[in-house]
């Protein structure tokens, strides 16, 4: 089996998993060091967080790849867009961003996996336009992971789902005070941070 040949609904498709982000996403679909890395014994991989990771190949280890490995690869470009937006947002002097990453690396560990999860969760809420998905995901990464549960924000998401307006346009009237109230409401309501 070739590393980039992944199962899709109808057969197999090739994905350039030698690209760092795609390899990071592929590695994220397996348990710790259980991927199909052999015959490479030690593969140093730059990660989206700005650090590195080592994938270890073992000759006796065989890993079956399911359709989910290809599904993650299909979203690699959107994950890349979200990671780039996240990095840009972290460089801005935002007055209110309580969930903002402040660690030693450019992004938190497993940033690509977090981005993919955010994208999938935005889709589960009914969003289908890439700009809407990325807008919600970035707001959740910077403000509160359960921002979508806030009544006012949820109503705006529903409007975007129905095609009334882009989510970014619907969220534009929110200023720092409004975001602070929304996050406070979520915190008092018991939403996990």
Taking only the tens place, the pLDDT of each residue in 32-86 is: 767 787 788 888 989 999 999 998 888 877 677 777 888 999 999 999 999 999 9
User: Average pLDDT in the 163-184 region?
Assistant: 95
Cα pseudo-dihedral 75, 168, 83, 186, rounded to 10: -100
For residue 181, the model assigns a pLDDT of 94
Question: Comparing 5 with 55, which gets the higher pLDDT?
Answer: 55
For residue 2, the model assigns a pLDDT of 65
For residue 193, the model assigns a pLDDT of 42
Q: How confident is the model at residue 191 (pLDDT cuts 50, 70, 90)?
A: low
- Across the chain, mean pLDDT equals 90
- The reported pTM is 0.89
User: Average pLDDT in the 103-123 region?
Assistant: 95
DSSP class per residue in the chain: --TTEEEETTEEEE--TTSHHHHHHHHHTSSTT-SS-TT-SEEEEE-TTSSEEEEE--TT------HHHHHHHHTHHHHHHHHHHHHHHHHS--S--TT---SSSSS-TTHHHHHHHHHHHHHHTT--SHHHHHHHHHHHHHT-TTGGGSHHHHHHHHHHHTTSS-HHHHHTT--HHHHHHHHHHHHHHT---
**Long-range CB pairs of 17-23, under 8 A, 24+ apart, other chains included:** 17/73, 19/76, 20/45, 20/46, 20/47, 20/48, 21/48, 21/76, 21/79, 21/80, 21/83, 21/112, 22/73, 22/76, 23/55
| Whether 86 contacts 111, CB under 8 Å | yes
């Amino acid at each position: 089996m070739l590393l980039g040949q992944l199962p899709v609904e109808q057969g197999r498709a090739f994905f350039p998993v030698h690209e760092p982000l795609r390899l990071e996403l592929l590695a994220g679909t397996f348990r710790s060091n259980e991927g199909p890395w052999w015959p490479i014994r030690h593969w140093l991989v730059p990660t989206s967080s700005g650090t590195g990771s080592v994938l270890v190949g073992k000759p006796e280890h065989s890993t079956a790849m399911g359709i989910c490995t290809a599904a993650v690869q299909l979203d690699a470009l959107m994950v890349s867009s979200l990671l780039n937006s996240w990095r840009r947002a972290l460089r801005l002097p935002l007055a209110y961003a309580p969930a903002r990453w402040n660690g030693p690396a450019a992004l938190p560990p497993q940033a690509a996996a977090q981005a993919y999860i955010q994208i999938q969760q935005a889709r589960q809420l009914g969003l289908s336009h890439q700009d809407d998905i990325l807008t919600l995901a970035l707001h959740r990464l910077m403000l509160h992971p359960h921002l979508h549960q806030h009544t006012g924000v949820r109503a705006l998401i529903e409007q975007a789902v129905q095609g009334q307006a882009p989510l970014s346009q619907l969220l534009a009237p929110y200023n720092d005070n409004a975001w602070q109230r929304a996050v406070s409401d979520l915190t008092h309501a018991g939403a996990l941070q």
